[in-house]
Structure 1
Amino acid sequence: MWVNKNFMQRLQFFSKFGRAGNWLLLANVMTGSTFAFIIPVMSYFFLDQKGDGLNARPIDFLIYLVAITFFGTLCNQFMGRMADKGHSSKWIYIFSMACSAIATLLYANIESVYLIFVVGIVFVSLGSAAVPQILTVSRQYADQANIDVNQFNSVLRASFAAGWVIGSSFSYELIARTGFSGAFYGSSIVSVLAIIVALYALPNYHKSKEHRTNGKPDFVPLGFWLLMGVMIIGNVANSLYMLSIPLIITNELLLPESLPGKLFAIVAFLEIPFMLYSAKLAIRFNRYHLVMVSFLMGLIFYLGIYFATQSWQFMVLQIFNAAFIGIYAGLGISIVQDQLPKFVGFTSTMYTNSLRIGSTLGAVGIFVVGEFFTYQAAVLAALACMLLCLIGLILLQASPTQKSV
């Protein structure tokens, strides 16, 4: 009887973060999967000429990307402010996931580029707030449960990455079997499942009147904006690489077309242990110094990619890419949130917006590079971004008002 009870306890509390923490991890996996079903395939959906895609112009996709980034950033900021004013981040998350489900249902049944624009600006922009809001709920839970924030955030980030791997893999499989509508319906289903989990299992926090704010800090230190600049530039580098490497491999080096997919799978697999281990290292070492190390790994990676010419070289270099992304993403959310601990909604939203803005700037950079240079020039641009990130963190640590945490 004792064995059975102990076994049931292990099933119920499969991590040290508590029952609600486990449900939050699952919600993060689902959230990552929801967006991974659609984000990696949207360029394919817009530009596909052979299947059931839109057969649109490249400029149409660029306009779409810039539009949803702009309006998504506005929506994220507004909802982050609502959370800091005392509104429930859980219910904002549920609303955003519902908008995401509506968007993908409409995508599955729309053939007009202009209608896609409208759906994206309205529903995708509102749906994008789901990511910062689930991060806000998670941070609120970590503070309430008095668990290690660095470790919990790193595991959350790893669970989101795992969801991304799952969603993107199923997405392309569904496209191959059923067309783009299959991927969009898949995203809708996962969104609904995430809403069910949120309704019945996620904690719900409301700020008391004395702890509520006006939704935005009266004073944001210069160090915070410098840190956000570093976060954006780091994401620009990653976006430049991800968008350019398939073209470098297939068009410029004439290597196998299957190689980019293998590289993405390798780094997605390897970055998760780096995320988890970075939290343990953060107990002993300065987190900013660890992020600096991640940028050094990025420097080595992009320098190696620029000179690589063979498949095995690209594969080996993914170890450095995984170290860069794993540490940078695993600790990044914690150091951003700790800059303004009373405004978790604001800081979580700013962190998520840095991902969106960086990715979009990287996409714009690829269009410029493709027009005037070779795509390998994008790797040099990513290398320059790493140097800027290192300089930015050094300046941040040198500031007399900046705590080394």
Structure 2
Amino acid sequence: MVPRSRRGGRALLPLGLLFFAIGVSGAVVEPFRALFLSTAVRASPVQLTVFLIVAPLSGVVAATLVGRLSDRRAIRRELLVATSVAGLVGMGLTAFVRDYWALLALTATATALAGALFPQALAYARQHLTRGGASAAMGISTLRTVFSASWVAGPPLAAILLRAGGFASIFVAAAAMYVVAALIAVLLLHKVDAPLSTAGPAPDLAGTPSASRSTLLRTAAAFTLLQCPMTLCVQALPLYIDADLGGDATDAGLILGLCAALEIPLMLSLGVLASRIRIRVLVLAGAGCGVAYYAFATITPSVWALGGAQILNAAFIAAVAGLGISYMQDMLPEQPGRVTTLFINSFPVGAMLAGPLFGLSQRFGYRYAFLIASALCLAGLLVLLATDPRGRSRLSSPRPSSP
């Protein structure tokens, strides 16, 4: 008889292929979306702004609705297929449509629905690995690492495709990745018999308390505060290096590449540590690294000093973006679809908040972007510290009654 942990571990190979396909589908499109709209579609600045707001907002709505549905019926694998097909339709049509309003409608429907594929894949992985007896935290960290690796390969591939076949080629490539994702879900992934909420807790989740709605929302708000700086400072970094540190765009690319390279082993290492140290401790330590990194970046004297601090930045991203998923999944183990979507949605919401903050840094100086980022990380850390993941906030815990 095959041990349960081995059965759960075997799922990592097809899941790894799925996550790589999901990652490449986004990595070949996202870096060039604004350029595509500006040049091929000839969208005005106002139209571009509207598009870049509608896209993440519609994605958040679609992912939330799919996440709630996925926890009510045993259809998670079917949802993986459906969202993959939606991605195929969205990217396939975008490859040829050049009318702005048609593209906006397509983005708010099919492409938004495809955005639910990533959180649903994470929810499926959590449920399958847990039922198979494997370490969910280690498995999720491994899969998140594969997703990060796909973003190392995706943008260079997109640049090659763009030179060879124009924008149509990158959208066709993204559509092909959604086909791969659908085939993996149909042929290689096992059906999950029933949601945890109806089948009862898995053996290693017995006795695990579920967090209250307010606790979940506070925690999601904390992760929004922590992930907003990731977008804000990626936007500001090239300009900061050019205007304040005497470097150029090449230096920014090298620093971002170094950070991405460091994230991969750190995510795997944190996944291993999660079996020995509480995930909450690791996430809090990672948030502290974020506070320290952005504070140092505010006063850094040179590009190379900033490059040396990327170990702090990578530890911050690995803990928050990697273990943060398992942290929230542990808070509501019987509804992995809902809670995973709540965590994933914190990133696009944070990205939308980064827009006006970036505008402030353009007005007052790019160092302020990193100062704001450090303050946001500190605020997120404090909210996590003040919120008991078992469901009670220390800030609002009732006072003991008088004897």
Shorter-chain TM-score bucket reads 0.7 to 0.9
Q: Which residue of 1 aligns with 2:65?
A: 78
Q: Which residue of 1 aligns with 2:124?
A: 137
What's the CA shift string for 1:175-213, capped at 9, x where partnerless? 233322222121111111121111100121131798179
What amino acid is aligned across from residue 273 of structure 1 in structure 2? P
Distance 1:43 1:31, change over 3 A: same
Q: Which residue of 1 aligns with 2:167?
A: 180
> 1:379 pairs with 370, 378, 386, which one?
370
Residue 318 of structure 1: how far off its partner (Å): 1.5
What's the CA shift string for 1:52-103, capped at 9, x where partnerless? x334334333211221222211111111111111141111111112211222
> 1:91 pairs with 54, 57, 78, which one?
78
> 2:100 pairs with 113, 117, 127, which one?
113
Distance 1:180 1:200, change over 3 A: same
1:195 aligns with 2:182: yes
Residues 253-264 of structure 1: pairs in structure 2 closer than 5 A? 253-264=245-256
What amino acid is aligned across from residue 265 of structure 2 in structure 1? P
Distance 1:304 1:47, change over 3 A: farther
Q: Say if 1:237 and 1:362, in contact at 8 Å, map to a contact too.
A: yes
What's the CA shift string for 1:299-354, capped at 9, x where partnerless? 22112222235332232122111111011122101110111111111111111111
What amino acid is aligned across from residue 362 of structure 1 in structure 2? A
Distance 1:369 1:119, change over 3 A: farther
SS at match of 2:148: helix
1:291 aligns with 2:278: no
What amino acid is aligned across from residue 64 of structure 2 in structure 1? Q
> 2:265 pairs with 267, 270, 273, which one?
273
Distance 1:208 1:262, change over 3 A: closer
Q: Say if 1:275 and 1:329, in contact at 8 Å, map to a contact too.
A: no
Matches of 1:400 and 1:124, distance apart in 2: 35
1:395 aligns with 2:386: yes
Q: Which residue of 1 aligns with 2:205?
A: none
What's the CA shift string for 1:362-387, capped at 9, x where partnerless? 234324543x3333322221111111
Task: Give the alignment's TM-score, normalised by structure 2.
Answer: 0.87
> 1:69 pairs with 35, 38, 56, which one?
56
Residue 34 of structure 1: how far off its partner (Å): 0.9
Q: Which residue of 2 aligns with 1:39?
A: 30
Distance 1:238 1:208, change over 3 A: closer
1:160 aligns with 2:147: yes
Q: Say if 2:260 and 2:314, in contact at 8 Å, map to a contact too.
A: yes
SS at match of 2:11: helix
Matches of 1:197 and 1:26, distance apart in 2: 8
**Structure 1 gap segments, 5+ residues each:** 1-14
> 1:18 pairs with 5, 9, 12, which one?
9
Q: Which residue of 1 aligns with 2:397?
A: none
What amino acid is aligned across from residue 11 of structure 2 in structure 1? A
**Structure 2 gap segments, 5+ residues each:** 1-5, 201-209, 395-403
Q: Say if 1:86 and 1:212, in contact at 8 Å, map to a contact too.
A: no
Matches of 2:376 and 2:101, distance apart in 1: 34
Matches of 1:115 and 1:211, distance apart in 2: 41
Distance 1:275 1:212, change over 3 A: same
Of residues 84-93 and 164-173 in structure 1, the stretch that sits farther from structure 2 once superposed is: 164-173
Identity percentage of aligned residues:
25
Q: Say if 1:240 and 1:366, in contact at 8 Å, map to a contact too.
A: yes
Q: Which residue of 2 aligns with 1:306?
A: 298
Q: Which residue of 2 aligns with 1:250?
A: 242
Q: Which residue of 1 aligns with 2:317?
A: 325
What's the CA shift string for 1:89-147, capped at 9, x where partnerless? 11111111221122222222232332221121112111100011101110111121011
**What is the aligned length?**
381
Q: Which residue of 2 aligns with 1:227?
A: 219
Matches of 2:193 and 2:143, distance apart in 1: 22
SS at match of 2:365: coil
Q: Which residue of 1 aligns with 2:89?
A: 102
What amino acid is aligned across from residue 107 of structure 2 in structure 1? G
